[in-house]
Structure 1
């Protein structure tokens, strides 16, 4: 089996033109063109895709994925998109596929053995793996509620610059007051009552929290907890994300809704997955 062809750093028009050209040249109609959000998606997916699949990295995240796949210029069933679900509940196109749970990282984290990959590599504390995962999801529930509210209500809340380092105490718990204070500073000039958005009485299962937790938040909080509670050297988010992706397996992928949905879409007439 050959290697997937990967196209990066292209503009929207360049991607569309390239796909249109290749579709026309594909006489046997056996090639697939998948548009993904970015580099992490490419690194994750390329291990599981057949050599007849070409991967394009979007020019503009998930919005770029949608724009390209739904372009009338390349109206083809063999051009699909894979993106984070985030807080989107409406499938706008049958050619757009979501990772399970909230995003790629949470789809991987759902599998305990995959989470154990980063647990044993970076964590040196006292919590057992399943307890640590549940703890992180629970502490991030405050952040996840605000992210979900922001997405559903189009509030334009800025999260860029949010630091968990300053709002996590010595017991690895999030200080609600400090969290809200940070959000207010990052969104000065906006009249948003963050206290009313956060409902700590709302009981959530681990299953539900996987659906609303942002993967980057999860990785960052895991990093902070490791640095605060453990004696190991500091690590960065890229290292953690890399190990997390590497801890996933073909067996796990076959259990995902993503795997089944993509397979069903092509009705096994064109083999997309190499596993």
Structure 2
């Protein structure tokens, strides 16, 4: 049972109570740093060219003041929390949403619970410029439920702290955005930062889960528990049975019915990946 350190939503917004001069110094520091790309899809082979981070190796006075402000809030939630592993984050214009994920893997949360029963690690995002946002799935600690999704805007000089098992993700930006991220962990426990746990996406109509977003989107569209699901299925069937000329891109054979083309490709060529059928 997690201590009542967080609201039922799993996150809270708080004011850092540091000066605007401190925030300004952090922003200038953010602009001057070198960044490395981070992921968009958990476990994906490609980095996200629009989203990057810069790990802090040595804290300067402005960041030390922010760390102290975070510790002050964290102590009201769990006396064992320690702010650690600070990173500047940078998003370039044009990026997409990250895949929903949790900031700590299951085994890390289990190790924390074994050492500190009832405790859970957490994370903090600090806004150092206007327009800083975070996508959250309140109350979603097992699955990222689409109907629970919110996009939270964090005022400059404020921070959002959230449980380590709360599903969340970065957002896309139309302008450049700098912000800070840190972990709330425990002094006598070790773990590897940046190893996250990705989401089991769930159908809000029937509860089916998938790890691939394209699959769950297709399932939701045709799900029979979806009020429009049956109509979508009928529409697909009518489209597939519509007569015309449907050439196979593999062998140039032509079929009158689209569904027959699909069956042909699967049987003769073993794929539909390069043809829209």
Q: Which of the five TM-score ranges fits, normalised by the shorter chain?
A: under 0.3
Answer 1 or 2: which has greater strand percent. 2
Question: Which gives a bigger RCO, structure 1 or 2 (Cα 8 Å, sep 6+)?
Answer: 1
